[in-house]
Structures are given as structure tokens and as C-alpha cells.
Structure 1
Amino acid sequence: MTQTPELELTIGPPAHGGHCVARHEGRVIFVRHALPGEVVKARLTEYDDDARFWRADATEVVQASTDRVNHPWPLADAALAGMRGTRPVGGAEFGHIGLAAQRRLKADIFTEQLARLGKIDRRITVEAVPDESPDGLGWRTRVGFAVDPDGHLAMHEHRSTTLVPVADMPLAVPAINALALWERDFSGVDGVEVAAGSGDEEPLVLLRSTQDPPGRALRALAEGIPGASVAVLNPDTGSVLRLRGRTWVREVVGGHTFRVTGEGFWQIHRSAPRVLTEAVLEGLQPASGARVADLYAGAGLFTAALAERVGQTGSVLSVEGSPAASRDARRNLHGRDHVDIVQGKVEKVLRERRPHLDAVVLDPPRAGAGRETVRAIAGTGAKAVVYVSCDPASFARDVAYFAAAGWGLDSLRVFDLYPHTHHMESVAVLRPL
């Protein structure tokens, strides 16, 4: 068996995606689990001779940065994995970095992406969530696990099909860890998703299985998980079948109550719905009687806040592509006659309806909105767009599309809603020039 090559590298600046840049004999290498200025030994994970760049994982620190700390999750610790000759699990790739330094690196990455892809030179700062825990743990309200051949909950090694059994999830909120699901036998289940709502109800455990109908073993498994609702999600059909309790969780934000079913989208940081809603309203300042749109609206988080602000004399067009999320939105916004909930592709709905709007909230998936959607928004007559993004690269590209349509970036805030990972969330205000 050929041994994986290992190099000693001096680490350069951070790069989007959770890496830092190093160079070896003129070739760029994207290295994970390192810090700028460090000297590390790194095991190559992708290194074809004809590749434009290589990838590597730091396995041993020769000269450490002063920003390096002990990783809070041993399974995600690259140094420990290197000693074992394995790879760390994904999901906490910045855990070896102090929280303040994590935010500085994220700011550097966002600044670089905005300059390179959006052609905007603006120094970014990344804000900590006001009620963040001092260790940056216990914030995830949604987690997902694979199931290994022995029926144990597991996670994948980074960029690998290898499964590693887990016995805790330090990033998850206490209500999820309290279920101790790693003590259960999930044989016959393809995967497990867990959601903990901010309401008073118990968490929802969603079992991925193509058994139709679910057999006795799955029903017995559901009965053996106290303190949780349990349902089965068939990934082939998208159907969700209740086994115990509810098929949804209740979320409460700013006096509004939301029902989010199955795998319906919801912000995963426990404070994100409140923080982002406040930032959206502050940026948009919707007036009574205004005509606004909430695009990629999900279960209606921003729609509800906008509907309250514009009042019955205003209107909200809420557009969502997912049928399940759109159904959630209809339940959550029931009785608000000035809200029009439409299920469909955003660009298609805007093209066919040609709405005349005063303002838009745009919260696209990680891939961004894209040129066609940006053009459609620019044609609505809106005087402001509040853009909520979870990816600096796609955001910067979309900002360039807005610039081509005659719009400029007015304000921008970036929040550290994913501590110990490279991810971040931004809220920007764009206006026609």
C-alpha cells in the first residue's frame, strides 16, 4: 500500500472554504487545520500531478501560532487524528483557533472575496452574537448523523466516505445532547436528523429510511427514545411519517410562532432567527403601507416580521421554492390577508408576476441568487434590497450582478453564527445608484 505523501509547509493567508494557502515548489496547496504563519507537517489528501492545486490536512504543528488553542472536540482535532493516522470528522474545522482569531480570519476571508469577486474594497469586521457562550459551543439546533454498519451514530471523516462513531456533539444545544442518541442501535436506518425548537416541545428525531411502511424495528426504536418526537423521512419520496409525538418543531421569534416540519429549513444557531430578523428590519426600515417581497422565504421567518411592520395597508409577497417549506409558511402566516405566499422558483415568479415593489428581502441558498434573479429584482422598482447570505463568495458575485444593474452596496454586517467552523452569515443593504 502506497503511503500518503507528507510535507513540511509554511502556512500563508486564509482562503474561503476553511483552508489556508501554502506553496510547495511553485504549487498552491490548500491546507486545513492550520493557521497563518505556522509551520506544520501536512498529509496530502488530493495531489494529482496535473491538478491546478493540491489539498492537505495539517497533522503536526512544528511552529505554532499564538492563536492556536486546544480543540474542544477530539474527533474533529486534526492533530489527534494525525497521531491515529486518520482524518478528523468535518464540522468543526476552526476549533483549533481561539474565537477572537476565528472572527479575524473570517473577516479577512470576507474582505478578500468581496474585493476579488465583487470589486468592492471594504474592510469587514465579524460580529459575535451578543449571547454567545464563552467557549462557542452549544449553539446548533439542527444536527445530522450517518449510521455505521454496527448501527451507531457516526460522522464522515472530512472529504471521505469513512465513518467514525460519535459519542457526543459539543456544538449542539443541550436538548440534543441530552437525548444520548449515540447509546441507541439505529440498525436499518440510513441517517438521523435532530431538530430542537425554541418552543417548549421536545426535540424531533427524524429517521432516514426507505422502508415503506416502516417495520416493527423502526417503531420499536421510536418508542425507545424518551423525551423526543420521532418521525421517518423517506428520502426517495420526501414523505414524513409520524411514529411518536409530532412531525414538526415549534419556533418562537419576536412574538411570532412558527411551525417547521421535518427537514424544513430553519437557521441552525439558537440565536440566529432573532439576530437576523433584527438586522433585516434595521436595514430595510419597512414603512406602514409598503409593498415588500420576501424571496427564498422558507417557513416565513422574515415574512412574519415584514407583515407586522407594513400592516394591513401594505403587502408582502413571500416566495419559496420548496413545497414543504411553502406549506409551513402558509400555516405560519394563516389569517394574514395582506401576505401572498407563492411556491415556485423565485426568478420565474418575478418574471411572470412582474410585481411593483418598494423593497425586497433576499435570502438565497448557499449558491446565491444568480444573475437572472438579480435582474428580475432590479426590474421591480424596489428602492432597497436587504440581502441575507451564508456564503461570502456567492454574495460577492451577486453584488457584482447588482452593480451591473446599477445598484450599489450601502451597508454590510457580518455575524459569527457558526463558531468553530469557517461559515458566517451576512446582512447587506443594496440600493439603486
Structure 2
Amino acid sequence: MTDAVPAAAPSTTGADGPAAPGPGSTAELTIGRPAHGGHFVARHEGRVVFVRHALPGEVVRVRFTETDDDASFWRADAVEVLQASPHRVTHPWPVADALKAAARGRATVGGAEFGHIDLAEQRRLKAQIFEEQLSRLAKTDRAVTVEAAPGEAADGLAWRTRAAFAVDAAGRLAMHLHRSHEVVPVRDMPLAVAAINDLRLWTLELTGIERVDVAVPSGGGEPLVLLVPAAGTTPRRVASVASSIDSASVGVLDAESGQVQRLKGRTWLQESVLGIDYRVTGAGFWQIHRGAPEALVTAVLDGVQPAAGERIADLYAGVGLFTVPLARAVGPDGAVLSVEGSPGTSRDARRNLHGQDHVSIVQGRVDAVLGRWTEPLDVVLLDPPRAGAGRKVVRQIVQARPRAVGYVSCDPASFARDLGYFLGAGWSLDALRVFDLYPHTHHMESFARLLPPPA
């Protein structure tokens, strides 16, 4: 038995049957299968309830958080464990521990919603979730094994090379509660690499700053701290905060434009993956897990097997994580098209591919670029955002008739949906790898090789 919470007002019963329990009401539920999004499925008075911070087979007391009468499901958080799963462990981060948070009468911070689960069981559950998405959305059955990232720690901690923090009203480093604008102060971030915690930003007085982003090169090196000032904060105050941050470069980030103004040090990081150097400016996108770039580049090269002289499109290409090794593989007799929507990230790609005349770097929407592209393609690689590529882009890729498609995804649901579009066009799922690049969270990353129907 763990910490209990005070009993809340029970739900009421209306003339037409049980009414929805009010937010904050509690109930005792038996937990079923995992669901995509970090939830587990239970039922209450015939209604599906998505429960966070539980495990299959557990009996828990939950506090309802969303209970609209006309909703197809409700949401709740586990606040007391009555019968525990053998896979439940002590959460490594107290402010993200739902049971401890409930005992204090508040919600948890986001970002470690699987921390109460044994790491091996986390991966088994993620595999089950991925399989369910494939079956439900792509109408295909596939056994999935979730792989650890290269060099993963046994406890699954200290992997984040990027972290974003809020600042509370007292000027203390803080993080947002789950699905809330409310923030709570923090004094560590166990999922972050040591270089982020070693900055000890929680000891600083950050009044006038709204957000603090921190990034560290995957292989180690000086961190970059980006400050987002609150409205009305003077440049002098921002400079004062910057001067209090030791052993790091510091810049001011314009949250709307993404532009960074240098205060001290440099406004970019140098990353290195399999002997290739990359420049990533300011808040530019880079894989968060320190082992993710190596894992994904290796999976892509092994998967699509680029050959000298081939023509390849790298869609949603970012700073060129995959474009650079693909360009090297096809050589000057080949051609690579890099498409990226973000202007700043596209500028980084141009720097990282400087002198590669056989690479065309285009900044713009993927569907718009493909719509006017007339050159044949041997391979298409895509690494879309969490929303996926969508039906239109899939149709454009199918019409290009490459010999293979490599699909890197950070969301099993959008991947399964897009896979369904490919399968509907006669393509096949040839190879699939799933990586646990976000330990202690419900997120995962995957690489798939898709093949066209026989000619």
C-alpha cells in the first residue's frame, strides 16, 4: 500500500443513470491493457477511463481529471495503489511520482510518466502498444521488439541532451505540471545528462525570465543555455541572469522567430555522429537522446542501403543528420534532395552540406516541393514530425516509384496510419525496428523499410 489521498466527493446519480463523476472525484478501478499516449485502460460504470501512472492488472484508486458527460472516455490519474503489479518500482524523480504528488494534493510534472515501471517492462509495454497501433490503424500484424539505445544506462536515466524549463513567480527554475499552465520548482532533472544538472540552474535567481532551454552536444562539451525573457524584461536584467550562469554559452531566444542573440560564448553546438560533424544553431532540432543519432543513422543506412550514383530524397531533413551520410554514400555521381520546412534549420543544413554540389537543399513544405519535383528518385527517406506525413505526401511518394522508402517515426499512431496508405497502394512493410529513445516516458522511435509492389 502506498500513500493515500483524502477522499473526494463521490459522483452523483441522475434520473437517467449514473452521472459523470466531477473532476477530483475518486474511484477504485482495475487496470487493463496499455494504450497509446501513456495511459492504461480501465472502465467505470460502463465508461472507458484512460488512467495514467498505473500498470496492467493493478487495482488502484484514481482521481478523475476529465469527465465530460458527452465524452466517449474519461481521464484519471492513479493516486493510490491497492494491489500493485510486480513490475512497479520506486519512481526515480519525486516531482514526477504520481503517488507522492497526490499526497501533496497536486499533479505531477510531465516527462517521466513511465518512471514507476521497471525498464524491461516499459519496453515490453511499448512493443505491445506499437503492435496494437499497427493492427488497428494499418490492419497488419507484426511482432515488435523495442531496442535500447546504444550505450543506454541500466537505469534508463541521464539520456536527455535537451531540456526546457519554466520559471515560477519567485524566479526559481520550474517545470509545468501535466496538461497545466501551473509550474512547480525543480532541483534536478534525472533524465538529463550530467552536464545539464551540473549547471545547477535551480540555485539562480531567474526573475524576468519566462523559459530556459538547455542543450548539450551528444558527445559532451560546453552547454548552450537559451533564455526567453518575459514581456517587459530589460536587456540589463537578462544580461545579469546570463552573467550568473557559469561554464556555458548563453543566448537570448526569440520564441516566435527562433532567432538567437548571443550574450556569451556561441549560439550553436557541434555534434558528431559516426565521424561526421554537424552544426546545430540555437533551438534547432536535434535528437534528444545522446545515443539516438547513432542508432537512427545506422538504422537508415542499413535499411535503405544507398548505392553510388543513386538519387535520394531526404524529406523533413532537419539539419542534415541523414542527408550528409546519404550524400557521401551516393557520391558526386548521385544526387540528394533535402527538404526542410524550418528556415533556420534549413540554414544549418546548408552549412553542414557546404561544398556538396550534388545535394539540392530546398526550404519549404514537403508536399509543395514534391508537387513540382520531376526528377526520378531511387530512394525516399522521410522523418516527419509527430503528426506524420499524411495521405497527400504518401501518394506523392508512391507516384515517384522509388525502389525503397525509409520511414523514421516518433509516433506509432501516425506511422501506422501512413503505413496503411502505403499498404493500400500495394506496398509492403519489409523491415521494422523500434527504439526506446525516451526511457521512462511512453514515447518511442522507429525505422521502417517499405518496398513497392513488383513491377
> TM-score, normalised on structure 2?
0.93
Query: Does the alignment pair 1:237 with 2:257?
Result: yes
Question: What SS does the aligned partner of 1:232 have?
Answer: strand
Q: Which residue of 2 aligns with 1:181?
A: 201
RMSD: 1.3
Query: Does the alignment pair 1:159 with 2:179?
Result: yes
1:176-255 equivalent positions in 2, closer than 5 A: 176-198=196-218, 201-209=221-229, 215-255=235-275
Query: 1:118: Cα distance to partner?
Result: 0.7
2:204 is matched by which residue type in structure 1?
A: R
1:109-120 equivalent positions in 2, closer than 5 A: 109-120=129-140
Query: 1:199: Cα distance to partner?
Result: 5.3
Instruction: Tell me, yes or no, if the aligned pair for 1:199 and 1:249 is still in contact at 8 Å.
Output: no
Query: 1:216: Cα distance to partner?
Result: 0.6
Instruction: Tell me, yes or no, if the aligned pair for 1:47 and 1:54 is still in contact at 8 Å.
Output: yes
Query: 1:406: Cα distance to partner?
Result: 2.3
Q: Which residue of 1 aligns with 2:4?
A: none
Query: Does the alignment pair 1:303 with 2:323?
Result: yes
Instruction: Tell me, yes or no, if the aligned pair for 1:210 and 1:234 is still in contact at 8 Å.
Output: no
Query: 1:381: Cα distance to partner?
Result: 2.4
Gaps of 5+ in 2: 1-7, 10-23
Instruction: Tell me, yes or no, if the aligned pair for 2:258 and 2:344 is still in contact at 8 Å.
Output: no
Query: 1:249: Cα distance to partner?
Result: 0.8
* 2:397 aligns with one of 377, 402, 425: 377
Query: 1:385: Cα distance to partner?
Result: 0.5
Query: 1:355: Cα distance to partner?
Result: 2.9
* 1:347 aligns with one of 349, 362, 367: 367
1:384-403 equivalent positions in 2, closer than 5 A: 384-403=404-423
Instruction: Tell me, yes or no, if the aligned pair for 2:40 and 2:51 is still in contact at 8 Å.
Output: yes
CA distance in 2, matches of 1:377, 1:126: 28
Instruction: Tell me, yes or no, if the aligned pair for 1:409 and 1:428 is still in contact at 8 Å.
Output: yes
Q: Which residue of 2 aligns with 1:264?
A: 284
* 2:444 aligns with one of 420, 424, 427: 424
2:181 is matched by which residue type in structure 1?
A: T
* 2:340 aligns with one of 308, 320, 323: 320
1:19-58 equivalent positions in 2, closer than 5 A: 19-58=39-78
Query: 1:237: Cα distance to partner?
Result: 3.3
CA distance in 2, matches of 1:336, 1:213: 43
Q: Which residue of 2 aligns with 1:409?
A: 429
Q: Which residue of 2 aligns with 1:170?
A: 190
Question: In percent, how many aligned pairs have the same letter?
Answer: 65
Q: Which residue of 1 aligns with 2:103?
A: 83
Instruction: Tell me, yes or no, if the aligned pair for 1:209 and 1:235 is still in contact at 8 Å.
Output: no
Distance change >3 Å, CA 26–CA 199, structure 1 → 2:
closer
Q: Which residue of 2 aligns with 1:130?
A: 150
Query: 1:236: Cα distance to partner?
Result: 3.2
CA distance in 1, matches of 2:56, 2:384: 31
Instruction: Tell me, yes or no, if the aligned pair for 1:250 and 1:258 is still in contact at 8 Å.
Output: yes
CA distance in 2, matches of 1:372, 1:135: 41
The C-alpha deviation readout for 1:184-215, integer Å capped at 9, x for no partner, is 11111110110001356411001112669961
Question: What SS does the aligned partner of 2:140 have?
Answer: coil
Question: What SS does the aligned partner of 2:132 have?
Answer: helix
1:79 is matched by which residue type in structure 2?
A: L
Q: Which moved more, 1:201-210 or 1:182-191?
A: 201-210
Question: What SS does the aligned partner of 2:187 have?
Answer: coil
The C-alpha deviation readout for 1:246-270, integer Å capped at 9, x for no partner, is 1111100111111111110000000
Question: What SS does the aligned partner of 1:379 have?
Answer: helix
The C-alpha deviation readout for 1:214-262, integer Å capped at 9, x for no partner, is 6111112111111000001112333210001111111001111111111
Query: Does the alignment pair 1:275 with 2:295?
Result: yes
Query: Does the alignment pair 1:17 with 2:37?
Result: yes
Instruction: Tell me, yes or no, if the aligned pair for 1:203 and 1:228 is still in contact at 8 Å.
Output: yes
Query: 1:63: Cα distance to partner?
Result: 0.2
Instruction: Tell me, yes or no, if the aligned pair for 2:401 and 2:452 is still in contact at 8 Å.
Output: no
Q: Which residue of 1 aligns with 2:314?
A: 294
2:92 is matched by which residue type in structure 1?
A: P
Distance change >3 Å, CA 285–CA 366, structure 1 → 2:
same
Q: Which moved more, 1:345-354 or 1:392-401?
A: 345-354
Instruction: Tell me, yes or no, if the aligned pair for 2:258 and 2:283 is still in contact at 8 Å.
Output: no
Query: 1:129: Cα distance to partner?
Result: 1.8
Q: Which residue of 2 aligns with 1:144?
A: 164
Question: What SS does the aligned partner of 2:416 have?
Answer: helix
Distance change >3 Å, CA 213–CA 66, structure 1 → 2:
closer
CA distance in 1, matches of 2:218, 2:115: 26
Question: What SS does the aligned partner of 2:32 have?
Answer: strand
The C-alpha deviation readout for 1:357-388, integer Å capped at 9, x for no partner, is 00011100000000111111112221100100
Distance change >3 Å, CA 106–CA 250, structure 1 → 2:
same
